[in-house]
Amino acid sequence: RPGQNHHPAGPSTPPSSPPTQSLSVQRQLYERDFPLYKQPVEVGHFSLDSERRFFNDARQLRYYVEPEKSCPNFDLRDGYRGRFVKRDDRVKEKLDHILRWILANRSKLQSKDTAASSSPCALGVDIVTWRGHLTKLLTTPYETREGWLLAVTRMGGTLYISEVETEAARRDRENRTERHEEMMYWGYKFEQYTCAGPRVCNTTKQGAPPSKRHHEDQGALQTDDAQSLPDPGGVVNTNEAFCTVVQTRLAEHRLLFSGEVDCRDKDPKAPSPPANYIEMKTSLEISTPKQRSNFYRFKLLKWWAQSFLPGVPRIVAGFRDHDGVVVSVETYHISKISQLIKNETNCWKPTVCMNFCCEFLSFVKSVVTEDNPRVVHLFSWDPHRDVTYSIHSDSQYSFLPDCEFHRYDD
Ligand code: 0WD
Ligand code: CA
């Protein structure tokens, strides 16, 4: 498809020529030097409570409590029937929580360089999205099963990227087996065994004085809640979340994104966020060479991409058996994962992930030039295909408020 395809390594397109129509996902096109990725900086955070209400603070941030034994015997099935409140995943929140955070924290974003320059970009960032959407982009060159749809709108010079559920994903969600539904609970249950803090207060200590519940900063939480321990007898409520908001740069793309953080290091001497955050995971115990290779080739790719993006340095993994009993716990340092996988044949490469993501963002920038909250460019990708897009005005895909939101000069 010469002339049609967006050439990743090629010279930049002159502004006058029409945008290319598709973007190739082939790995070998992205095997070059690792692009610049600036150390992500936390510019804020927010919490969602048990009813999914937004709070511009860290009340839902928990801390990690190391299990007593290396073989802890946590029963992840406990409480699935009876002590589980599941978030309604039919409700699509799109970028709503992030937009809310931006409205409440505009002043923190209008940085010196934006204010000083006559930048047409009011927010001072090129891209606003969820971390989870960027994770999908990073893993695209290696994905063979699930495609994606990403809706993009330019407003005030900034590109907003919000996922749209594919038909296949909707079918999978509506036809999950009871076993699968239960296994989705296991990850949250593992967090409950290993994390302590405000969530415990909210579910079991309802009478706690307001001073214990409404902290504005993480330092206060640490001193007041230093005594609390994980509460495996409590309710697991997946509406609750703590999300970090980070700013960084991938080559020329200034990014602002938010991601859910499971907990933080409780050591008061731990570095400042996001370097003190810890991601919790569960996975089937590894007993054969085939399982080990699959874990390295597929699971570690997703784990690495998700935590590398916001600069979360550690993953604590609970390995479980088929009955949901955790048989071992292991820590993975994100910075050591690329070494760990190096000897694996047919394995993924971090540089391919990052270069593809970077190229996709350049492609989006070249395509989405109209600054209008009512216009959506829907980027679509299916395994073994190129990325393509379609244009929609005032459609079901619109996801930004058509209001004064983009006027930051009032
Ligand atoms: O597609 C998404 N990722 C969307 C996420 C679409 C719209 C909203 N959100 C919200 C979720 O409500 C959640 O609060 O974003 C938050 C998570 O965003 P993220 O960090 O960008 O997402 P991701 O990295 O995919 O997931 C992080 C964690 C997951 O942990 P594991 O260890 O399983 O990767 O967030 C949880 C889950 O615990 N999570 C969700 N929680 C509620 N609703 C959702 C979801 N749709 N997706 C992931
Ligand atoms: Ca997790």
Q: Are strands 54-55 and 41-48 parallel, antiparallel or unpaired?
A: antiparallel
Of residues 239 and 199, more confidence is placed in 239
| pTM > 0.80: yes or no | yes
pLDDT for the residue 122: 85
For ligand 1, say whether the CB of 131 is within 6 Å of any of its atoms: yes
Q: How confident is the model at residue 200 (pLDDT cuts 50, 70, 90)?
A: very low
For ligand 1, say whether the CB of 278 is within 6 Å of any of its atoms: no
- Give the whole-angstrom CA distance, residue 157 versus residue 124: 9
ipTM of the assembly? 0.95
The two three-digit tokens of residue 29, written as one number: 């096109």
For the four alpha carbons of 186, 188, 194 and 200, in that order, the dihedral sign comes to negative
**Identity of the residue numbered 239:** N
For the four alpha carbons of 344, 347, 349 and 354, in that order, the dihedral sign comes to negative
For ligand 1, say whether the CB of 260 is within 6 Å of any of its atoms: yes
Average pLDDT over the chain reads: 89
- Give the whole-angstrom CA distance, residue 169 versus residue 149: 10
Please state the atom number of ligand 1 nearest to the C-alpha of residue 130.
21
Evaluate whether 203 touches 238 at the Cβ level (below 8 Å). Answer: no
Counting Cβ atoms within 10 Å, is residue 271 exposed (0-12), middle (13-18) or buried (19+)?
exposed
Q: Using one digit for the tens of pLDDT, what is the confidence trace for 362-402?
A: 999 999 999 999 999 999 999 999 999 999 999 999 999 87
For residue 404, report the distance from its CA to the centre of ligand 2, in Å: 36
DSSP 299: I
* Closest CA to ligand 1's atom 26: 132
For ligand 1, say whether the CB of 163 is within 6 Å of any of its atoms: yes
Evaluate whether 57 touches 215 at the Cβ level (below 8 Å). Answer: yes
Residue 23 pairs in a beta bridge with 6, 387
Of residues 208 and 109, more confidence is placed in 109
For residue 120, report the distance from its CA to the centre of ligand 2, in Å: 37
Evaluate whether 248 touches 274 at the Cβ level (below 8 Å). Answer: no
**Identity of the residue numbered 336:** K
Q: Are strands 84-85 and 236-237 parallel, antiparallel or unpaired?
A: parallel
- Give the whole-angstrom CA distance, residue 324 versus residue 33: 41
Q: Using one digit for the tens of pLDDT, what is the confidence trace for 56-107?
A: 999 999 999 999 877 889 999 999 999 999 999 999 999 999 999 999 999 8
The two three-digit tokens of residue 402, written as one number: 């058509």
For ligand 1, say whether the CB of 402 is within 6 Å of any of its atoms: no
**Probe target for ligand 1 pocket from 55, 128, 260, with the most ligand atoms within 8 Å of CB:** 260
Which residues have a Cβ under 8 Å from the Cβ of 43 and sit 6 or more positions away?
105, 108, 109, 245, 246, 247, 256
Q: Are strands 63-64 and 195-196 parallel, antiparallel or unpaired?
A: antiparallel
**Probe target for ligand 1 pocket from 130, 163, 299, with the most ligand atoms within 8 Å of CB:** 130
Please state the atom number of ligand 1 nearest to the C-alpha of residue 258.
21
Please state the atom number of ligand 1 nearest to the C-alpha of residue 302.
34
Q: What is the mean pLDDT of residues 325-349?
A: 95
Q: How confident is the model at residue 206 (pLDDT cuts 50, 70, 90)?
A: very low
Evaluate whether 141 touches 25 at the Cβ level (below 8 Å). Answer: yes
